[in-house]
Amino acid sequence: MKQCKEQTFEASAFLPSFLETFDRISGNTNFHGMKQLPQMAVIAEIANEFLELMFPGRCGRDKIDLSLEDILLLQMNKVCSMLKAQIFLSYKYESPLLEESALLEKADQAVQVLCSKLPQIRRSLKLDAKAGFNGDPAARTVREVILSYPCIKTLTIHRIAHELFLMDIPFLPRMFNEYAHKETGIDIHPGAQIGESFFIDHGTGTVIGETTIIGKNVKLYQGVTLGALSFPKDACGALIRGTKRHPTLEDNVTIYSNATILGDITIGHDAVIGSNVWIKENVPASTMVVIQEPKTSFRDLTLRKN
Give the least confident one: 52-61, 71-80, 213-222: 52-61
Claim to verify: residue 226 and residue 117 sit in the same structural domain: no
Claim to verify: residue 220 and residue 268 sit in the same structural domain: yes
Q: How is 19-36 classified by DSSP, letter by letter? A: HTT----TT----TTSPP
Domain boundary among 152, 185, 218: 185
Tens-place pLDDT, residues 209-243 = 999 999 999 999 999 999 998 766 666 666 677 78
What pLDDT sits at residue 202?
Answer: 94
Q: Please give the residue range of the domain that contains residue 276.
A: 205-293
Claim to verify: residue 142 and residue 283 sit in the same structural domain: no
Tens-place pLDDT, residues 111-152 = 999 999 999 999 999 999 999 999 999 999 999 999 999 999
Q: Which residues of 181-194 are buried (b: 16+ CB within 10 A; e: fewer)?
A: beebbbbbbbbbeb
CATH number of domain containing 181? 1.10.3130.10
CATH number of domain containing 247? 2.160.10.10
Residue 62: pLDDT above 70? no
Mean pLDDT, the chain, rounded, equals 91
The total of structural domains in the chain comes to: 2
Give the least confident one: 21-25, 50-54, 113-117, 142-146: 21-25
Tens-place pLDDT, residues 260-299 = 999 999 999 999 999 999 999 999 999 999 998 888 888 8
What pLDDT sits at residue 34?
Answer: 62
pTM of the model: 0.89
- Classify residue 300: in a domain, yes or no: no
Beta bridge partners of 226: 208, 261
Q: Round to whole Å and give the CA distance between 269 and 299.
A: 42
Claim to verify: residue 116 and residue 210 sit in the same structural domain: no
Claim to verify: residue 134 and residue 84 sit in the same structural domain: yes
Claim to verify: residue 172 and residue 67 sit in the same structural domain: yes
Claim to verify: residue 179 and residue 217 sit in the same structural domain: no
